[in-house]
Chain A
Amino acid sequence: MSGKPLGLVFFPAFDWAISPTHPEREERLLYTRDQIVEEGLLDMDTIREYKPRLALREDLERVHVCVPNIMSLITDAHRVSAGGAITAAEAVMRGETARSFALVRPPGHHAMRVVHGTRGFCTINIEAIMIEYLRRHYGIGRVAVVDTDVHHGDGTQDIFYHDPDTLFISFHQDGRTLYPGSGFTNEMGSPPAFGSTINLPLPPGTNDEGLHTILDELILPVLADFQPDLIINSAGQDNHYSDPLANMAITAQGYARLADKLKADIAVLEGGYSIEDALPYVNVGIILAMAGMDYSKVIEPDIANSVRHQADSTTAYIRNLIADRRAVWNARDSLQKEAIQKAGNLWRRQKGIYYDDSGIQERQTESVHICPHCRGYLTIATEAQGGRFACQSAFIAVSWRDSCGRCRAAARDEVMQAKKQRQYQHYFLQDLYQDTLEKI
């Protein structure tokens, strides 16, 4: 142990729910609170609790473009959970804590750059907001995000898909069997960031052994190669064997050992809906592991009833997955050159995005403008149907913090041009060098 405590931002939002019987409701962290308080964790010298700050609009708009505007889409709770992630990270940056855990809700990893509503229980992406805050205020460069939620962290992937300085690794239950239906191995980042997105879809029934094989043999070596300034863990807990919304077989010990090995600088809670049988134990396990304390006695009372045998086919699949992904990782530089050559100066993709909580269907066209001198810039054309605002469309240009002057000007010109043609209802320019989101 380094002698510094673990920073803990615990914010269960006991007065906030998506709807009364929604999995994201007041009760979600009640039993976790009970366990944490009963264990005396908040009194230990190895743990220091922090009150979350309230994230500012500028913190959120450094990441998101909300249509029609941010304040109509979010609640105060979102500003608290994003602020909680920032508070946790700042405790580490200021040297007060060795690491921090933002045990907060509502979660964020399904929220993409463009936001029309709430999807996968997420409206704004609290890790992404935290990371961009750290880059702006603390000059952080390379960041690795390891998403250990059972669902693919498609929002985080989307936000960092064109960013070579953010390595995004997500393991999750195979998208063919679970929401949001993405996160396949061929999603590897756009050409300027090729290889910095790594998806590890796992078969239902994967257990601690399978998970730790992939961690030891793939995730940890890749992290060592990437040499990030910070490791962020999107610490969803729904890979647990008792989770009602998924089908994996991970235990509290499996999660605690994961936290112990990963040694994330900052962990941020994501999903996890086995609120009585998993969350109290998984959270205590993660807290103890991150605080450098003995977690060996954190064992679910019902563990004898759990089915945790992993199919041989799963074990074999995982072996192949590791070999395959390692090969891509090792060849990433030459593969990236090929991808850039193939794309020329424009890489384009179309996406359909469903907002399950808001009943919105979005169509998006993303265009990455590739520049030989910088990271280029991005334009997004979006149209959303359904939900509270019925029909919303926008054209958005994003220039990065290190985009060259020409690309920044080109991004602005494109929005201006689009506005003249009046095809969309809203026009936005997100200039991350200036740290502004302008409605044009």
Chain B
Amino acid sequence: MWLGIDVGGTFTDAVVIANGEILAQAKAPTTHTDLLSGILAAVDLVMHGMVCSGVERVALSTTIVTNAVVQGKTDTVGLLLLPGPGVNLNKMLPELPITLAGYVDHRGRETSLPDEKEVIKACEQLQDRSALAVVGKFAVRNPRQELQVARWVKEQLPGRHVTAGSSISGALNFWRRTNSAYYNSAVHRHFGEFSTAITTALQQRQITAPVFVLKADGGTLPLVVAEQNPVETIFTGPAASVLGIMAMTAPSGETVSLDVGGTTTDIALWQDGLPLFASRGARINGFPTAVRAFWMRSVGIGGDSFVRWEGEQIKVGPMRLGPAMALGGEYPTVSDALIVAGHVHFGDRAAAMKAMEKLTRNGGSSENTAALVLEAAATIIHQEIDAMILEQAAEPVYKVDDIINGRPIAPELLIGVGGAAPGLAPLVAKIRGIDYQTPPGAMVANAVGAAVARPTTEVTLRADTSQGIYTVAELGLRQKLTKRSLTPTDVRDLARQHLRERAVQSGINFETAEVVYEEEFNLVRGFSTIGKILTCRLQVKPGVLRAICGKEGVL
């Protein structure tokens, strides 16, 4: 029995899943000032009449970090940078940093050294900070200086959390790692308190199963691991939604998914069974971070979208002026059109008919008007899908082959979830001339997604044979190579060893690890080849632990 919980903007959903089916589902209002009480209310509702000790896994998609940032429940962070030469970031960070000596260049070579006395002096200025972040440029190529400075800071300011930038992300981007490390430290204490509270509360209910937290990239982390990297658990709503879709439909090939809500439709493009990632990390308070997330676009079309005539055209959304007339609202909505067209069945059908009559011109029938409304709504979604495909095709690539042979994504299947999906998804699919699916159970897709999300981890191994060293940024590792020449296969094997270590430490199954990125360059100096630089990123990809039959449970 698996328990999945999704903390949404309005409701906290909980589901219990067993043998690939939704056994129970429940909803409780989200309590923004004290998320825990809403979570526990949903848990108590969904577990009603079940044996709590039968829960084998708890997974949580929570807004705890988002809320902490929005509500200012963050700690003051002292930011220490080893930026070396380059961009002056001072005015582009959430906090004015203290700049320290020391520099590692693009090959991971130390070109100047950090100074302990300078760090001690900096720490004197930072006595009032509750947490700290230390970030070095190119520390992902050689974390030694960054980790050394972090140790000195810990000695000077004991008991305070220190985030090292390279532990947050193994990818290049000093600016993003700095912002990520800053927010990681800022929410560390708050997340830790939440983590302790929820563990205690679950234990009181005899739920002793391991607890996992969803990340923005769709992976999950054991709660204890997440305590070190809480910033990763921000913005998990979209991840939960697409994982729910994945669990209930298992798309393959090129697909487009729609999550049609009350006011917006969230669109994602899929390739080989996985939604595309955003090419850039998420922004927190406007600051770009290294937090990876799925790529979604919201368009202002949903069940509650306001419908009216503007000149000779029926207009739909993006504003919402209240609920459907079928539910006692004042203005015609998309839901009213869906009811009249017979796609959904709720509320007062007569009121929905009245909504369409209000809109009817030139003596047409209400059914015709409803069709016009839905066609207009579907067209807007269709155009937004096209815009996404164009944007994806315009992503820069760095190889000739990718320019010549690259082609835009061409979705062959449309998947629709959410209340208004059964009416809108077929229409959008028809305009595009593709097949569609509207899996049942979609009302709790997010909680299902959280429940079945696979624990993930990754390592980025970079070997430089002319220096005879390799680094694994995520592990803070820089070691001598035992062989003088390496093939990509050697590098993959080495990466796999380290991934295994990391996965075992975190209690994560690593069997499904895949190479997600590879590079191989010859190093040539003075017309002769003196070595190679090889990079391999190995990842246990986000995914679902098992498929779920989306039969609606009884509330």
Contacts and interface: CB of A to CB of B under 8 A. Distances in A.
A, B: real partners:
yes
A297 interface: yes
Nearest to B90: A294
Contact of A38 (B92, B138, B404): B138
A30 B533 contact: yes
A76 B401 CA distance: 9
A41 B400 CA distance: 22
A294 B92 CA distance: 12
Interface string A24-63: 0111001101110111110110000111101000000000
B: interface residue count bin? 35 or more
Contacts, number: 119
B420 to A, nearest CB: 35
B112 A301 contact: yes
Contacts of B521: 14, 26-27, 30
B87 interface: yes
A35 B86 contact: yes
A51 B533 contact: no
Interface in B264-293: 280, 288
A284 interface: yes
A40 B88 contact: no
A298 B400 contact: no
Contacts of A347: none
A36 to B, nearest CB: 9
B524 A39 contact: no
Interface stretch (B22-30, B100-108, B357-365, B448-456): B100-108
A15 B138 CA distance: 24
B517 interface: no
Contacts of A40: 87, 89, 173-176, 288
B172 A38 contact: yes
Nearest to A38: B172
A281 B174 CA distance: 15
A13 interface: yes
Contacts of B176: 40, 43
B60 to A, nearest CB: 30
A80 B397 CA distance: 11
A25 B106 contact: no
Interface size class of A (residues with CB under 8 A): 35 or more
A412 B120 CA distance: 80
Contacts of B529: 20-21
A293 interface: yes
Interface string B136-170: 01100000000000000000000000000000000
Given A13-B399, A30-B533, A288 B87 contact: yes
Interface string B433-469: 0000000000000000000000000000000000000
Contact of A244 (B523, B526, B528): B526
A14 B398 contact: yes
A329 interface: no
B111 A301 contact: yes
Contacts of A276: 106-107
Given A31-B106, A293-B87, A26 B522 contact: yes
A286 B403 CA distance: 26
Contact of B88 (A54, A297, A300): A297
B175 A20 contact: no
Nearest to B528: A21
A298 B394 CA distance: 30
- Which 4 residue pairs of A and B lie closest in terms of their CB atoms, listed nearest first? A40-B175, A301-B111, A34-B106, A15-B399
Contact of B175 (A15, A43, A294, A302): A43
Given A25-B524, A40-B175, A40-B176, 7 more contacts: A13-B399, A14-B399, A15-B401, A39-B174, A54-B404, A280-B106, A297-B85
A77 interface: yes
A51 B395 contact: yes
Nearest to B141: A34
A37 B172 contact: yes
Given A33-B398, A39-B174, A40-B173, A27 B86 contact: no
Interface in B390-449: 394-401, 403-404
A242 B31 CA distance: 62
Contact of B398 (A10, A75, A281, A284): A10
A258 B455 CA distance: 51
A39 B396 contact: no
Contacts of A302: 111
A193 B433 CA distance: 59
27 contacts: A11-B398, A14-B398, A15-B400, A20-B522, A21-B524, A21-B529, A25-B522, A26-B522, A34-B138, A35-B86, A37-B173, A38-B173, A39-B86, A39-B174, A40-B87, A40-B173, A43-B176, A50-B394, A51-B397, A52-B396, A52-B403, A54-B403, A75-B400, A76-B400, A276-B107, A284-B86, A284-B87
A354 interface: no
Contacts of A25: 522, 524
Contacts of A284: 86-87
Contacts of B107: 31, 276
Interface string B281-318: 00000001000000000000000000000000000000
A42 to B, nearest CB: 8
Contacts of B398: 10-14, 33
B192 interface: no
A237 B288 CA distance: 31
B394 to A, nearest CB: 5
* Residue with the highest number of chain B CB atoms closer than 10 Å, among A10, A244, A276: A276
B175 A10 contact: no
A424 interface: no
